Amino acid sequence: MLFSPQQFKQQFPLFSQPENCELVYLDNAATTHRPQVVIDAVADFYRTSNANTHRSSHRLARRATEMVEATRIAAGRFLNAAEPSEVIFTRGSTEGLNLLASSLTENLSPGDEIVLTTAEHHANLVPWQMAAQRHDLILKFVPHKNGVPQFDRVEEVLSERTKIVSVTAASNALGFMADLGPLKQVLADRNIRWIVDAAQLAAHQVVDAQTIGCDFLVCSAHKFYGPTGVGLLYGRRESLAALPPWQGGGEMIEQVQLQSSTYGAPPHRFETGTSSLAAIAGLGACLQFLQQLDRDAMAAYEQQLTDYLHQQLQKLPGIDLLSNAESNVGIATFAPAVESALQATDIAHWLDGRDIAVRAGRHCAMPLMELRSGHGSSVRASIAAYNSRNDIDRLIESLQNCLAATQSNSSLVTTADADHLEELSIEQLRQQRGWQQRYRQLMKWADAIAPKPGIRTVGNRVRGCEAATWVSHRMVDDRHQFFIDSEARVVKGLAALLLLLVNNKTTAEIAALDMDALFADLGLEKHLSPSRSNGFRALVNRVLQLSGSLLG
């Protein structure tokens, strides 16, 4: 069987919507899109089978129960579990990891050890930190090289007190797949519970829990074309049987008395309350959808795209490529060169203006990104099997245009503490034709906002801005003066516009401004939307609060 990316993409109705026909979606490590069969299955459950499972005797309840257990069987095959009862439905990988962190540490003693890696998603780090604080446990980390765990050295951190090892199978930030073979050899004969976070792996490789050899494994359906709100927790039968329950309530019990209860057997012991039944129905359709594909051919195609993406990014001057194409689950992570005036969020917003979806930030892997680079944040482009070379070519072309259009013009900045707004005017923006030209103008205006290290304090930080932004304020006579700094050029450009409106104005003058009308006239609505990560609205609101023109 061969894999056709064109036929594959045709199964996803989002891309056929008029507003999405030109969309280049490269944020698949965050979430993938859903094929029509998954959407139909979710709708069909509500249309024909909506009822709670296991507890009722009527036909709708029986049908819903049969659907859930059939999906459990399919999920067992998907992960190569020894039996369906080794699969627990969760809300996603994060819930699965929290369940394990809570239950596995319940009977540990102070001083017992948990081994992690520096490459973990926060979901496989923070729950263990919380458990360690509760039970006085010790966290240790596998030796690494530039953040990549070296599992052939894991014995250096194991001891008689090691009780748990929890590691990622593939990095969500840099895409590298971990070689878990050495872990299997070392942990096979030790009384250590071993957990694998396969959230990124499951979309790109066949997951075989038996071959991996772990005790537990988690993944999320929305990462591999399934619905949101449902994930899988695999556990060996004997490991699940020894695991105390995490939450209490209906479905997970056998007998309840006023002073005590007895709990059911896995998997139902860990499925408290009403599950996301429609999402489970969609998951069942997703697993059937994937079963019909040549997963090996699909993975080979994705690796070709990943290689091509990295090759093209390496050719771009002014870009630091942080990831490597080899043994990668389709993720390319890069940042503006350290000497560049651009920030990762500037690039992401530029690409968004060209209908190219990527992600900017630290990708819920702060320790890894701090080890890997000196950049505060980076851009992540992540592929799926519905992407194409044309998608990558559009990304590269847009990046080239971004780098060319935002060459730093430092001639405006002559001191470290004074902005230079004298040569700027709102009329300059009005004269630009279309949003793209205005965007370029704003990027030039960013150079008028001088660096202000003195205001970069916690108290001056603007909440709601993904790109770190600071504003301070003082009164001179009855007039307001504002000082703004940001890590992102686009926010600096917008700040220059804001300062033109409010600086050296009285409270009454600022309150009289109709900023929304002006911003709409300039086509800035997208920068005022709650979904925009640059948080310009948050900056505007903070300035208005400081001026006394906005209560709260």
Cα 389 to Cα 387: distance, rounded to the nearest angstrom? 7
- Smallest CA-to-CA distance from 485 within 468, 502, 498 is with 468
Phi, psi of 357 (to 5 degrees): -95, 115
Calculate the alpha carbon distances from 130 to 120, 125, 127, 199, 350 in Å.
15, 9, 5, 21, 38
- Smallest CA-to-CA distance from 139 within 118, 123, 121, 122 is with 118
Both structure tokens of 83 = 């039996």
Active-site residue identified among 214, 219, 286, 364: 364
Q: 467 Cβ partners below 8 Å, 6+ apart? A: 343, 345, 377, 486, 487, 488, 491, 533, 534, 535
282-313 per-residue burial string, b: 16 or more CB within 10 A, e: under 16? bbbbbbebbeeeeeeebbebbbebbebbbebb
Both structure tokens of 262 = 């007895």
Cα within 13 Å of Cα(1), Cβ side: 9
Q: What is the DSSP pairing of strand 216-220 with strand 359-361?
A: unpaired
**Would you tell me how many other CB atoms lie within 10 Å of the CB of residue 420?**
16
DSSP strands (E only) in 175-274: 193-197, 216-220, 231-235, 253-256, 261-263
Active site residue 402: no
Task: Output the CA torsion sign for 32, 38, 44, 46.
Answer: negative
**Would you tell me how many other CB atoms lie within 10 Å of the CB of residue 540?**
22
Task: Output the CA torsion sign for 536, 539, 543, 548.
Answer: positive
Instruction: Report, in angstroms and rounded to the nearest whole number, the Rg of the chain calculated over CA atoms.
Output: 26
- Smallest CA-to-CA distance from 444 within 411, 487, 400 is with 411
Q: 126 Cβ partners below 8 Å, 6+ apart? A: none
**Would you tell me how many other CB atoms lie within 10 Å of the CB of residue 162?**
20
Q: What is the DSSP pairing of strand 193-197 with strand 216-220?
A: parallel
For the annotated catalytic residues, the residue numbers are 364
